[in-house]
Amino acid sequence: MSKKNKNLGTPNVPNDHPRAESLHYRHKLVDLMFEKVVTPSGLCAHGRGEAFDYLLGEKTIPPSEKAMEAAIASLLLAKHPVFSINGNVAALVPESIVELAEVLDADIEINIFYQAPGRIEAITSILKKAGAKKILGLGDVEPTSLPNISSNRRIVDPRGIFSADVVLVPLEDGDRTEALKSIGKYVITIDLNPVSRTALYSDITIVDNIIRCLPLMVEYARELKGTPPEELLKMVETFDNEKNLVDSMELMRTRLGYLSKDIGARRQKIQPGANE
Ligand code: ATP
């Protein structure tokens, strides 16, 4: 995350720590694991994301902004846009998810892999506190199954991603993304790993940290709302996900090159005399 010293108010994380913001979110996820919102496996997934974020320089890159614009355009053109929310998403960006759904008139559906008594309720409570009025996936109607997937990731709300035309599935597993594509959904994801199966299967992949990109997506949504449909369609049609993924990886490669050249200077700064 950004290196600015914000007053994050996280116990045991001094605000002047160079990685204060990243540590703040780690603590948040750990706390919410004890409240059942996040699972241990969700913590590992976050760690995988953080590793890729390091390669991005922990900032939003131009290809991701391009993907965000196309994503918002396609969500504005959708007849029935639905966001699929898991524990990590609810823990990291509850307010922005609710705000984005409101601006885009999208439905929110909770979809979790690890079921545990009280978990859905804990995630629901976070989303409601963030202002969500309508939440799908609560088991109040008979669930249905996505085809072409055997795990319990197939179980969904018939009113949610199952009947959507455009779905936003951030931090998603490849199996469900593949199943959604197999039944013709237009899939948008947010995934820091540009080579995950989800990143590759999706129609639009935003390679960015969800913590940074969701507030930006809200801005794009407010800005593009009211844009003529032909213009929105042009934004979607001219977007090339494959090229965008390659561009993102290219930027990671460039940064790795820069870091490898800079390693001596950085060691010297941290540990004077290290190179003597
Ligand atoms: P796949 O099944 O698609 O190949 P995977 O096995 O990594 O990928 P999961 O672990 O279920 O799938 O998905 C988590 C994905 O979310 C990972 O690719 C990880 O890089 C990404 N991720 C984790 N935290 C964040 C975050 N804060 N912002 C954006 N992406 C994230």
For ligand 1, the distance from its centroid to the CA atom of residue 271, given in whole angstroms, is: 34
Atom of ligand 1 nearest to the CA of 49: 20
**8-state DSSP, 160:** T
Residue ranges in 118-275 assigned as alpha helix (H): 119-129, 174-182, 197-201, 210-224, 229-237, 241-270
CB of 91 closer than 6 A to ligand 1? Answer: no
Atom of ligand 1 nearest to the CA of 201: 3
Q: Nearest Cα to 44, choosing from 139, 95, 133, 114? A: 114
- How many CB atoms within 10 Å of residue 214? 23
Give the contacts of 6 (CB within 8 A, at least 6 positions apart): 15, 20, 21
CB of 90 closer than 6 A to ligand 1? Answer: no
CB of 94 closer than 6 A to ligand 1? Answer: no
Q: Whole-angstrom Cα distance, residue 186 to residue 233?
A: 14
What per-residue confidence (pLDDT) applies to 82?
A: 98
State the burial class of residue 36 (Cβ atoms within 10 Å of its Cβ: 0-12, 13-18, 19+). Answer: middle
**How would DSSP label each residue in 98-130?**
HHHHHHHT-EEEE--SS--TTHHHHHHHHHHHT
**CATH number of the domain at 62-241, please?**
3.40.50.12640
Atom of ligand 1 nearest to the CA of 209: 28
Q: What angle do CA 228, 83, 52 make, to 5 degrees?
A: 100
Residue 182 token pair: 């197999």
Nearest CA to ligand 1 atom 9: 173
Lowest mean pLDDT among 10-19, 31-40, 180-189, 236-245: 10-19
Q: What is the torsional sign of CA 224, 174, 128, 80?
A: positive
Residue 20 predicted with pLDDT over 70 = yes
β partners of residue 136: 109
Lowest mean pLDDT among 13-17, 137-141, 221-225: 13-17
Q: Whole-angstrom Cα distance, residue 101 to residue 65?
A: 19
CB of 191 closer than 6 A to ligand 1? Answer: yes
**8-state DSSP, 274:** T
Residue 4 predicted with pLDDT over 50 = no
CB of 174 closer than 6 A to ligand 1? Answer: yes
Ligand 1 pocket test: which of 85, 177, 192, 211 has the largest number of ligand atoms within 8 Å of its C-beta?
Answer: 192
Nearest CA to ligand 1 atom 31: 49
Contact 75, 170 (CB under 8 A): no
Q: Whole-angstrom Cα distance, residue 254 to residue 64?
A: 16
Task: Name the residue ranges covered by the structural domains of the chain.
Answer: 3-34, 62-241
CB of 176 closer than 6 A to ligand 1? Answer: no
Q: What angle do CA 249, 200, 234 make, to 5 degrees?
A: 90
CB of 45 closer than 6 A to ligand 1? Answer: yes
63-97 pLDDT tens trace: 999 999 999 999 999 999 999 999 999 999 999 99
Contact 211, 92 (CB under 8 A): yes
Taking residues 156-165, report their average pLDDT. Answer: 95
**8-state DSSP, 153:** G
Atom of ligand 1 nearest to the CA of 45: 10
Radius of gyration of the chain (CA): 19
For ligand 1, the distance from its centroid to the CA atom of residue 175, given in whole angstroms, is: 12
Taking residues 32-59, report their average pLDDT. Answer: 96
Output the pTM of the full model.
0.93
Residue 92 token pair: 């990291």
Atom of ligand 1 nearest to the CA of 113: 11
Q: How many residues does the chain have?
A: 276
CB of 173 closer than 6 A to ligand 1? Answer: yes
Cα dihedral value 220, 249, 241, 87, nearest 10: -60
